[in-house]
Copies of this chain bind each other. A is one copy, B any other.
Amino acid sequence: MTASFPTAAQALLPNGLRDLLPPDAEQEAFVASRLVATFVANGYHRVKPPLIEFEESLLSGAGRTAAAQTFRVMDPITQRMMGLRSDMTTQVARIAASRLARAPRPLRLAYSGSVLRVRGSQLRPERQFTQAGLELIGAAGEDAVAEVLLLAVEALEQAGVERVCIDLTCPPLVPALCAALGLDEARAQAVRDVLEQKDLVAVGDLVGAEAAAVLRALLETVGPAERGVEALVALDLPEPAVAMRDSLVALARRVAGAVPHHDLTLDPLEHHGFEYHTGTAFCLFGRGARGELGRGGAYETGPDGAVEPSAGATLYLDAVLDVATCPPPRRLVLISPTLPAARRRALQAEGWATVPALGAAVDQAEALRLGCSHILDENGQPRALAPADQG
């Protein structure tokens, strides 16, 4: 009947998994709640998909790229394989395409939750992290991307992030250019690799002088949007890339006008981590955050061939917490366990956390020992511990 406990060795956690302790756990909950509250106030409805589901649905469509990162478990009831979600966008798309297939479009959905990945990356060693996001399903073009981008930025502002760097990309642009240049798949892949390294000489070797000039000109638009947008507009691009460029330019102008107090950059060559994005996309960064704060963009989803243009954004709580401003923890005041409930609740309403002196005197020594900054005095008012007691 007695319960025992882990030994010190058993208390170790696997790499990339951790306990959030006080005050971090409270801060994460506060920020996640604040982010989703911003989405909800702007017409998004919260959904909560399960942590595990059948792998066919979890890893279908946009989820295919997540297969290698997904823990799998057997369902003992159906004997079918289930996966632990490594991302929530696919799940929200599934909900939109099935249970909410008849809800009017555009459908605005928001979520927050934990995801698990089989391996961490060098940049992000965590294997569990919390996402908060929004999906705008059944809306196309820069209007849709601008809405989710600006709301993601507004949510960050509401969580106390003062300055965001918004990096705009267009993942399908380089593939479209390679196709227009008549490059086969192997050559196109080689072009993407050298562009990634911004290696202009190698690009020239691969595609010849004329095509290299286009790519070089594109490379020169990378950087602050103020300069890059003008350079992009001036570019002479083959046909299928023109619409993409125009869309990126329109988005950049829209965002620059809406949030001039944040930094805006362009990187039309970037495509890493945008595996399911079909149009303009973006990364959000913050000074002092370990990794990116979030990302998003245009994608397509829908049930059984009825493709719906959509846009979404996901914020990563671990990075957001590095730059968010959280309210300080409640100050602790030591009280008697017999303090009337009405007085205790009144103190809590004033912002105190009331700590009952359980089986101990309500005195300065006990307050100090329990980490309280205050003690309830004879008039029922919180009194700061005397300096001598705090030493």
Contact = CB atoms under 8 A, between A and B. Distances in A.
Interface in A131-184: 136, 139, 141, 143-144, 147, 154, 171-172, 175
Contacts of A12: 54, 57
A330 interface: yes
Given A51-B116, A358-B143, A359-B143, A104 B371 contact: yes
Contacts of A71: 52, 73
Interface string A295-316: 0000111111001000000000
Contacts of A111: 25
Interface residues of A, number: 112
A10 B41 contact: no
Interface string A88-127: 0001011101111000101010011010101100000000
A3 B78 contact: no
A105 to B, nearest CB: 9
Which of A11, A52, A62, A72 is most buried by chain B, counting CB atoms within 10 A of its CB? A11
A215 interface: no
Given A5-B61, A52-B116, A11 B45 contact: no
A46 B2 CA distance: 26
A369 interface: yes
B5 A94 contact: yes
A379 interface: no
B5 A43 contact: no
A352 B302 CA distance: 29
A247 interface: no
B19 A29 contact: no
A322 interface: no
A78 B16 CA distance: 12
Contacts of A332: 43
A288 interface: no
Interface in A1-35: 1-8, 10-26, 28-29, 33
Contacts of A118: 76
Given A22-B45, A43-B332, A53 B114 contact: no
Contacts of A42: 344, 348, 353-356
Contacts of A47: 19-22, 25
Contacts of A382: none
B7 A303 contact: yes
A57 to B, nearest CB: 4
A10 B307 CA distance: 16
B28 A48 contact: yes
Given A3-B299, A19-B47, A84-B84, 9 more contacts: A3-B301, A4-B307, A5-B94, A7-B304, A24-B48, A40-B330, A40-B353, A51-B84, A52-B128
22 contacts: A3-B301, A4-B307, A5-B304, A6-B61, A10-B56, A11-B303, A14-B52, A14-B82, A16-B77, A17-B50, A19-B50, A20-B47, A21-B99, A24-B48, A25-B47, A29-B46, A41-B353, A42-B355, A43-B355, A52-B71, A104-B369, A147-B358
